[in-house]
Structure 1
C-alpha cells in the first residue's frame, strides 16, 4: 500500500498572529470601524486608537452596564489596541497623526462625508505622501446617491435597508435584530476589504482607498430575500422565526418554553412526523413536499403545535435529536457561556485590565494552525498610552507636555 503523509501537529511555537508587523491607525469610533481594527489587532497587527481628549469614543459612555470607568459596549470592540488622545482639528494633533501614518499600513475612519475631518484626511493627499497606505472609510449610506451625506446609526441602517421589515412576528410591529447587524455587517465586509487590499499591495506595491457602508452591507446580506423579491416582485412578509423557503424551520412552543426545529428536506420531515407519532402528516398532499409545506405553512404549524404542546423542551430535544431531526433549545447568554461547547472551543479568554482586573472577552472566531489568536491586552483606558506613543514618535518631554494638558487622562 502507498505510504501516507503523517498527521501534522499544529505549530504552537508561536501565537497565531498572521498580521504581525502590520501597523493600523484607528480614527474611527462607535462600532463598525472599531470592530474592524479590533479584528486586525486580534490577528496580530499593532493598532493605535486615536480619541478626542474630551470623552473619547462615545461608546465609553454607552451604559449601563459599566465595568470600571468604561461601558461594556466600549469594552466589546477595543481590545489589543493602544489609546492616544488628540484633537484632530488642531494642527498639532494632525501632525501627530501624520507621524503615525509615516510607517502605517492601514488607516480606518468613519468621518461624516463632507466634514472638516474628511477634508483634512482626504485620501488623495494621504496617498501622495503615503503611497502604500490602505485607507478604509465606513459610512452610513455609501459614497454616492441622495443619502450619501446622511449620518446613521445601526438602527437607521436596519430600518432603511430593509432588515426591520423582515424581522418580527407577522401580526406584530417591525423589530430590530438583537445584534447590531448594520454595524457588524459593514465591519466584516470592511475587514475582508482591508485584508484583500493588503494582499494586492504585495503585488502592486501600492495601497488604495476602500469604502463600505452600513447600507451596502445590509443589501449584501439579504441573500435569498433579495433573489426571492427579484423573482416575484412581491414585498416579503415578516415570518417571526420562520424561514421563507423551508417549513418546518422555526421556533415552536413546548409545554415549558420554546425550541427550534430545522427540517431541510422531505426525508427529515417524514422522520419528524414518525417521531411525533403522526406519520400520516408526511403523506398529506399539503405537506408531502417542501414546496407544498411552504404554501400550507399555517396549516402545518397548527398541526405541529398541537402535537408539541404536551412535551417539555428537554423531552422534544432529546427525542427528536435521537431520531436525527435537527433541534435545539433556545439558550440565554447565561446558558451559552456556561455551555461545555463554548468552553471546549476556548471562545472566552481573560485579560488583565488596569482598573477592573481580570476581564473576560469573546475571542476571535478563527483558528490558525490549530490556535486561536490570543487576547493580548485589555481595551485601553482613555489616553492610556498617549505618553509612550508620543515618545516613540520622537517627541521630547517638552513637546509631550505641550500636547498633554494637566487634565489629560491617565497616561
Structure 2
C-alpha cells in the first residue's frame, strides 16, 4: 500500500531503542564519509556519549567548512548523520592535534576509525600502540576489505560489484555496502562493550565493507534472487508490474497470499507450481495493467495481499 517515506529525522526517532544499552559508554569517532557517521548515529540512538573528531576543512574554504567530505558534497545527509553529536576539529598531523586527541582517548571507551591501517600506524594509532597506552580502550576499524586487502582503494560501488550485486549499467538504489558496514560496525561496538565488561580489557575489531556487501549478497549466491529464483522474478506473485498511473510491487510469495492474488486476478490456483507458469505471469500482467493505483491499494486492504504501488 502507498506510504509516505520517513525522513532521516523521523526514522532515527522511530528506531531509537527504548532501552539504552550503551548509556555511559564514551565513543570517539575519527571515521569520515558515510559508514562511520552512520554507525555513530546508531550508537547515539543506543545511548552512547558520542564525539566526532574531523580534520580541518580544505585550504581556502570558508570558516566552519567541514573536514568530512560528506559535509561538503551533501550537507543535508551530513546534518542528519550528526544530529545531536558533538563535532570537534583536530589536525592529527600536528603536535597540538595529537595532544588533544590523546586527551580525549584517555577518557574514551571505544574509538571508531575508517583510515587504512598504514595511515593509522603513521598517526601513532595502530592497535598495538593504543592498547599499550590505553588497555581498556576498544577499537572498531572500518576498512574497505579485510586483512591484507585493507590497503586497497575502493568504495561502495566497487564492493558491490565484487560481490556480484551490480547486474547492469544502472547504479544501485542506495549505498548498500556502506550502510551494511555501518550496521556491522555498530554490532562490533556492542560486542566490544560486552568484552570490556567481562574482561576489563579493550579489544580490536576490523569491519570490512566488502564483507558487508558479501553478507548482503548471500541470497543471490544461494539463487534466491537470480532470475530463476522465487524472489528473482520466476514467481508471478513476486514481481514489479506496470499498472494504470504507475507501477505495483507485488510480494504475494507465500501460498495463502499467492492464492488471494490469483483469486483477485481470476487465475485458478492449483498450488505453488501455478506461480511459476508463463501463463500465470501473463495473466497477472494483464490484470494489474488494468487497475489504477487507488484500486490496487484498496484491493490490498480488502484481500490481505502484500503489495505497494509506486509512481511510474
TM-score bracket relative to the smaller structure = 0.7 to 0.9
- When residues 302 and 164 of structure 1 are mapped into structure 2, their CA distance, relative to the original with a 3 A threshold, is same
Alignment of 1:326 with 2:302, yes or no, is no
CA displacement, residues 10-51 of structure 1 (integer Å, 9 cap, x when unaligned): xxxxx8543222111111100101111122122222222111
* Residue pair 2:92, 2:123 contacting (<8 A) in 1 also: no
- Answer with 1 or 2: which has the greater Rg: 1
**Cα distance in 2 between the residues matched to 1:238 and 1:138:** 35
Q: Residue 166 of structure 2 is aligned with which of 161, 164, 167?
A: 164
Is 1:21 the counterpart of 2:24? The answer is yes
Alignment partner, residue 272 of structure 2: 289
Which among 44, 59, 84 is matched to residue 88 of structure 2? 84
Structure 1 position 188 matched with structure 2 position 183 = yes
Aligned to 2:199: 204
State the match for 1:317 in structure 2: 297
Secondary structure class of the residue paired with 1:330: strand
Deviation at 1:201, TM superposition (A): 1.4
Highest RCO, 1 vs 2 (Cα 8 Å, sep ≥ 6): 1
Give the equivalent residue in structure 2 for 1:39: 42
Residues 97-246 of structure 1 mapped to structure 2, 5 A cutoff:
97-115=101-119, 120-144=124-148, 147-165=149-167, 173-228=168-223, 236-237=226-227, 243=232, 246=235
Task: Using the TM superposition, give the Cα deviation of residue 118 of structure 1 relative to its aligned residue in structure 2, in angstroms.
Answer: 5.5
Q: Give the Å deviation of 1:266.
A: 2.6
What is the CA-CA distance between 1:138 and the residue it aligns to? Answer: 0.6
Corresponding position: 1:267 with 2:256? yes
The answer (yes or no) to whether the contact 2:26–2:110 under 8 Å persists in 1 is yes
> Aligned partners of 2:120, 2:28: CA distance in 1, in Å?
19
The structure-2 alpha-carbon separation of the partners of 1:196 and 1:247, relative to structure 1 and needing over 3 Å to count, comes to farther
Q: Select the structure that is richer in helix.
A: 2
TM superposition shift of 1:244:
5.6
Aligned equivalents of 1:245 and 1:22: distance in 2?
Answer: 48
Shift of 1:268: 2.4
Q: Deviations over 1:159-214 (max 9, x none)?
A: 2222213xxxxxxx343322211110001011011111101211111110011111
Partner residue in 2 for 1:59: 70
Greater shift in the superposed pair: 112-121 or 179-188? 112-121
Return the alpha-carbon distance in structure 2 between the equivalents of residues 88 and 188 of structure 1: 27
Compute the displacement of 1:279 (Å). Answer: 3.5
- Aligned 8 A contact 2:111 2:138 in 1: yes
Q: 1:331 to 1:186 in 2, by over 3 A?
A: farther
Cα pair 2:220 2:226 within 8 Å, conserved: yes
Contact 2:195 / 2:203 at 8 angstroms: preserved in 1? no
| Structure 2 segments unaligned to the other structure (5+ residues) | 1-17, 59-66
Query: Number of paired residues?
Result: 287
Query: Could you state the TM-score of these two structures normalised by the residue count of structure 1?
Result: 0.64
**Partner of 1:260: helix, strand, or coil?**
strand
For the Cα contact (< 8 Å) 1:25–1:107, is it kept in 2?
yes
Aligned-partner Cα distance in 2 for 1:76–1:158: 25
Q: Secondary structure at the match of 1:164?
A: coil
Look up the SS of the partner of 2:304 in the other structure. Answer: coil
CA distance in 2 between partners of 1:331 and 1:151 (Å)? 37
- In structure 1, the gaps of 5 or more residues are 1-14, 64-70, 166-172, 230-234, 333-411
